[in-house]
Structure 1
Amino acid sequence: MKTGMKTLCSFVIALLCCASSLSAAQQWKDTIVVSRDGTGDYRTLTEAMEGIRAFMDYKVTVLVKNGVYKEKVVLPSWLENVDFIGEDVEKTIITYDDHANINKMGTFRTYTLKVEGSSITFRNLTIENNAARLGQAVALHTEGDRLVFINCRFLGNQDTVYTGAKATRLYFLNCYIEGTTDFIFGPSTALFDTCIIHSKANSYVTAASTPKDVEVGYVFKNCKLTAAPGVDKVYLGRPWRPYAATVFIGCELGKHICPAGWDNWRNPENEKTARYAEYGSTGEGAGNANRVKWAKQLSKEEVAKYENPDSLFRICSDWKEMSHD
């Protein structure tokens, strides 16, 4: 081939490579809009996953417009460094209606939103499982690490929020969580900061399954525990696994909270291992005179390690940055 022809071929190849690179750059946006009416980049959250590059080193923002998104959403493990921001927490709704007794589905497949990815923030979203009360029905199922939920609502009945992976760290700020039985459950380390925890039936709020070798399980700080009319016998928690760890700090407990506070899940052996405690509880359900003897009232010194999110999460491992500004 003559030199001129070689040069021309090289030039054409270079142009094609540049065009390919430009096309890839245009495909991966740092801001994506999801809108049910078709005016955004995608109509569903599931479709939007295709527009987010795997393992990004930059932040992507997904703006979710008001609407009802009836879909079963999985955020895969390769998804990182993403903010999902709803337009209005009461009008931006992700919903589905699976429950455990549909085709023998079991609890862990009933989720509306399953988060396998890490370093993800959610703001101003309602995540709902609106199945009938016919079995366990998870709204949020988490498996990723460093997940932050700000001003979100989690609606459901039994098993609303499943924090499903050991040694993962979750932060809930100014959220509303409702349910009937064990509606916050699982093995993760999770801080619930200034949240409303609403019981819809006489039952149990938490069912932690904290592993023995994990120091911190669930921490509720400055939360308000409320109940539906007629609900008057609710326990703060029962141990799904023997070393369940749950602490309430500076929380306002409604009169629906039982004087005993905690339940051993029909197994006295759990009383030797469960790590249940309170500090500075207020409200009609806060009296500790009749609390079970195997739960603890923390001292000022003992509560110090829970004083701020950064120090709390460093107890577990090194989560240096919290996305709650």
Structure 2
Amino acid sequence: MRKIFLSILCVLTFFAAFSQDKQLVVAQDGSGDFKTVQEAINAVPDFRKVKTTIFIKKGIYKEKLNLSASKKMVHLLGEDLNKTILTYDDYAAKKNIFGEEKGTSGSASFYVYGDEFTAENITFENSSGPVGQAVALWVAGDRATFINCRMLGFQDTLYTYGANSRQYFSKCYIEGTVDYIFGSATAVFDGCELFCKKGGGYITAASTPDTVKYGYVFLNCKITGDAPEGSFYLGRPWRPYSKAVYINTAMSKVIKAEAWNNWGKESNEKTAYYAEYKNSGPGAQPEKRLTWSHQLTQEESKAYSLDNIFRGWKPGSN
């Protein structure tokens, strides 16, 4: 009897593991489970307690996507970084069906509200061009991870929306012009490339709440671009307690010598926290930075560990 019981238990364990590991496949040619990404997202059971992987085959998927808060632990896996493209072309001044402007928040190509979201080998794009605010990716969920992804756009490309959200970007490529990384989340950019496009602008516009210790942290990144020399700031404060820190980042000549901007308010200089540590390249000129920004000591830089920044969450554990 005991042997029969153990045999049944083994079979049940096998099928449970199989059901957890099964991938949903999206392919435009009909060879997968779904032809659109949104159909696959909708198929994920609400509040599922194990990871659901959606494998997206190569293709340009023009869809305005929404991953709701009930879709947790979703992992989007692209077949090819440069050929798996999720795109849409809304922008802030574009009119909705009621003749009203969509606004920045309404312009996003992809909204992520579900916690413990992961994306890998995916390109997120807003294809509307240089027409003002046009968000490619909006992230509100907590413990979001992006690995080897691209975020393409111009103004307001990446909206790290969630005030209490922790977000990790590893080996990603992010491009834009004005405030192309913005929002209130705590976000780490690890080994990423920040590409400053023609026209000049600001890499970040953080709106970090005053109750949050860490805003944006850039670790071992590189800043490149085709913008004119000295045409980009590292950041400006969208809200008074904006926080951004660049550590071991290679900065090209597109970065202005002063590096930071107070958004036209001297009072922001007393509340915003902008700092750097051991950056390199022609854009890293610590002696020319504005006096209200900071150059970290070696001891101060130790506070910027992932464990401290993310309050114990370990990216990759999603």
TM-score normalized with structure 1 length: 0.88
Residues 60-94 of structure 1 show CA distances to partners (whole Å, capped at 9, x for unaligned) of 11100000000000000001112110000000000
CA distance in 1, matches of 2:53, 2:20: 12
Cα deviation, residue 50, structure 1: 2.5
| Offset of residue 28 of structure 1 | 8.9
What's 2:187 paired with?
190
Aligned residue number for residue 322 of structure 1: 315
Secondary structure at the counterpart of residue 38 of structure 2: helix
Q: Take 1:292 and 1:218, find their aligned partners in 2: how far apart are those partners?
A: 19
- Report SS of the residue matched to 1:109: helix
CA contact (8 A) 2:60 2:87 kept: yes
Partners in 1 of 2:35 and 2:267 — Cα distance?
51
Partner Cα separation in structure 1 for residue 215 and residue 30 of structure 2: 42
Distance 1:223 1:146 in 2: 21
Query: SS in structure 2 opposite 1:306?
Result: coil
Residue 149 (structure 1) aligned with residue 146 (structure 2): yes
- CA deviations on 1:124-158 (whole Å, 9 max, x unpaired) are 00000010312200000011000000000000000
AA in 2 matched with 1:142: V
Offset at 1:192?
Answer: 0.1
Paired with 1:167 and 1:44, the residues of 2 have a C-alpha distance of 31
Matched to 1:32, the amino acid is: L
Q: Contact between 1:218 and 1:247, CA under 8 Å: does it hold in 2?
A: yes
Q: Which runs of 5+ in 2 are unaligned?
A: 1-17, 96-100
Read off the aligned partner of 1:115 and give its amino acid letter: V
Q: Give distance in 2, aligned partners of 1:50 and 1:247.
A: 37
Task: Kindly provide the amino acid, as one letter, of the partner of residue 307 in structure 2.
Answer: D
1:229 deviates by 5.1
Give runs of aligned pairs for residues 1-325 of structure 1, distance below 5 A.
30-103=22-95, 104-200=101-197, 201-228=199-226, 230=228, 232-307=230-305, 309-314=306-311, 318-319=312-313, 321-323=314-316
Determine helix, strand or coil for the equivalent of 1:118.
coil
Instruction: Assess if the C-alpha contact under 8 Å between 1:176 and 1:197 holds in 2.
Output: yes
1:248-270 per-residue CA deviation (whole Å, 9 max, x = no partner) reads: 00000101100001000011110
- State how far apart, in whole Å, the 1-side matches of 2:304 and 2:84 are: 32
- 1 CA distance for matches of 2:21 and 2:188? 32
Q: Is the 1:128–1:155 Cα contact (8 Å) retained in structure 2?
A: yes
Query: In 1, distance between residues paired with 2:119 and 2:223?
Result: 23
> How many Å apart are 1:324 and its aligned residue?
7.0
The answer for the alignment partner of 2:14 in structure 1 is: none
SS of residue in 2 equivalent to 1:305: coil
- Distance of 1:179 and 1:265 partners within structure 2: 18
Q: 1:102 to 1:210 in 2, by over 3 A?
A: same
Percent sequence identity over aligned pairs:
46
In structure 2, C-alpha distance between the alignment counterparts of 1:141 and 1:116, rounded to whole Å: 8
Deviations 1:74-130 (A, max 9, x none): 000001112110000000000001110111110001011100101011000000001
Query: In 1, Cα distance between the equivalents of 2:317 and 2:142?
Result: 15
User: What's the CA shift for 1:56?
Assistant: 1.1
Unaligned runs of 5+ in 1: 1-25
Contact 1:115–1:144 (8 Å) recurs in 2? yes
Deviation at 1:310, TM superposition (A): 2.7
Mapped contact 2:151–2:174 kept (Cα < 8 A): yes
Greater gyration radius: 1
Q: Distance in 1 between matches of 2:240 and 2:283?
A: 25
In 2, distance between residues paired with 1:80 and 1:140?
17
Question: 8 Å contact 2:24–2:53 — kept in the other structure?
Answer: yes
Deviating more after overlay: 174-183 vs 128-137: 128-137
* Cα distance in 1 between the residues matched to 2:83 and 2:265: 43
Q: Which amino acid aligns with 1:227?
A: G
> Aligned partners of 2:64, 2:299: CA distance in 1, in Å?
44
Partner of 2:288: helix, strand, or coil?
Answer: coil
One-letter code aligned to 1:258: K
1:267-291 superposed Cα distances (whole Å, 9 cap, x missing partner): 1110011100000010001011110
Amino acid at match of 2:315: M
In the alignment, the residues of structure 1 paired with residue 246 and residue 148 of structure 2 have an alpha-carbon distance, to the nearest angstrom, of 20
Report the alpha carbon displacement of residue 244 of structure 1 after superposing the two structures with TM. Answer: 0.1
Determine the structure 1 residue equivalent to 2:6: none
Structure 1 distance, partners of 2:229, 2:32, is 43
